Structure 1
Amino acid sequence: MPLFEIETDAHIIITWADDEAAAREVVDEAYPEDELLRMTKRPRNSWVISKGALGLTDRTLDPCMIARDCLSKSAGDKVNAIRLYRMETGCDVDQARRAIESNMVMGW
């Protein structure tokens, strides 16, 4: 079943549908008041949302994003994540520990 990316005036919807008509029906049922702006049949069975398109590329604005990235790179190893966070931000050990531990609690 093809994957469709559908943009309306208020939403971006990612859905599987047999064809374009079925994809339009999904939008009409879920958001009847929305105006369809664009519909794209995706070439693969996955989808990606560009952080650049959403304005989320400035990593200096969100220390949690940096901490989560460090946790991901270290595969959850707290000590290694703290080291990576310090290298990335230039902060001291205590600040890095707090940032990493608070993100571990949130389930990064």
Structure 2
Amino acid sequence: MPLFEIETNSHIIITWAENEDAARDVVHDAYPHDEVVRLTKRPRDTWVISKGALGLTNTTLDPCMVARECLNRSAGDKVNAIRLYRMETGSDLDQARKMIESNMVMGW
């Protein structure tokens, strides 16, 4: 039985199915409100990766762009940029610090 990788608007699912129609049925049974955007055959075991957990569902909010904008508004002041980033994204202190510092290294 072939293995299929199915990307929906919210998930990436890798599952065994007899054919493409059966793979689409797997998605419809598990996630009836998801829309299939890509379906390909692929070898290996079954996995499901939530796009929401990876932060991929909100395409209008690019964390690096937000971090760079916060650095720009703070004139490169790291502490102020972290504060701005937290206000913009609702991130905790550690997440905001990592994001600002990683973007400082990349030369915001």
What range is the shorter-chain TM-score in?
0.3 to 0.5
TM-score, length of structure 2 as denominator length: 0.45
